[in-house]
Amino acid sequence: MSAGEAADAIAAGWRDAAATDVVKTLPLSDGGPGFVAVLHAGLHGRLLEVEIDDPLGRPVRGAVLVDDSGGRRTVYVESAQACGLHLLQPFERDPSRTTTAGVAALLQAALVAAADRIVVGLGGSSTNDGGSGMIEKLGADADRLRAVDLVVATDVDNPLLGPLGATAVFSAQKGATPDMMPVLEERLARFADLIGPELAQLPGAGAAGGLGLALFALGGHRESGADLVLRELDVAGLIAASDLVVTGEGSLDGQSLAGKLPVRVAAGCLDAGVPCIAIAGRVLLGRPQVAAAGFAGAYAIEGYAGSLEAAITLGAPGLRGLATRVATEWRR
């Protein structure tokens, strides 16, 4: 489900149990899929369609968002439109083959739009190439990118290499086998040696399979994608006006604690003194971790449906049913 679809399902389920509650939806993104759509809904601006390649080189359509507010032209780019895991069938997932080359066309569209500032959302990728495909495809346009304010909006703060790096933490979910991982790690290390070994340990260098590293090499500077979206959409003001906030993601787990959106939302709720609960596909954090992250509760569709497979099969109706149950519990 997209962020909008998930928000609508939760809202519908909540209203099923609490018809008099005022429920407002605000789909969010921390840099991954939906980044441009979420910002377009909140900031408006104008979308420019772009012809791009997917992670296997097949043509797909993407779009960048042009926003002229604040006295400068900002163009928002969603890297997952070109290299996202959602673009592949499960049998196609293979980070030894997938590439970030398609991201170059999105950045080139931002340059053509005369951007003063380019914000690149990172997250949800199918790749582990360190951004090498993007760099190669950019060619001479790489120098033009160094002349603009390049913001790297990452969904995690992992470094490029090592036990917390792109390969060790994220490549398995992209289709990497245990035998493939040492090869992927070595490939990233070699590429980092070529474009800037000092950049490999920077927070966010390992985001989107190391795409963060390549963007840092082009002069980019990191910002939490979650924090950027929360600020641009004035989520703090909306939290302050609420009695309860519901957030979530597919899997609330250790990766969530590395700077992902739900934890950022929970932190904002703590600051405002507003309770925040998470509704997720699955919850792999223990109760002490859930509480330490700032949540007043966390609920999994996996538990509601009886298994992860059943939760996936249920989809939006399962999320709606769980939201009804949670709303009933919170209204007691």
pLDDT tens digit sequence for 298-321: 999 999 999 999 999 999 999 999
Backbone phi and psi for residue 8, each to the nearest 5 degrees, phi listed first: -65, -40
| Model pTM score | 0.89
pLDDT digits (tens, 9 = 90+) for 273-307: 999 999 999 999 999 999 999 999 999 999 999 99
pLDDT digits (tens, 9 = 90+) for 227-264: 999 999 999 999 999 999 999 999 999 888 876 899 99
Look at residue 331 in the predicted model and tell me its pLDDT.
84
Neighbouring CB atoms inside 10 A of 271's CB total 12
Q: What is the mean pLDDT of residues 199-206?
A: 97
The residues that bridge with 77 in the sheet, in sequence order, are: 120
| Domains defined for the chain, CATH in brackets | 3-28+234-330 (3.40.50.10350), 35-226 (3.90.1510.10)
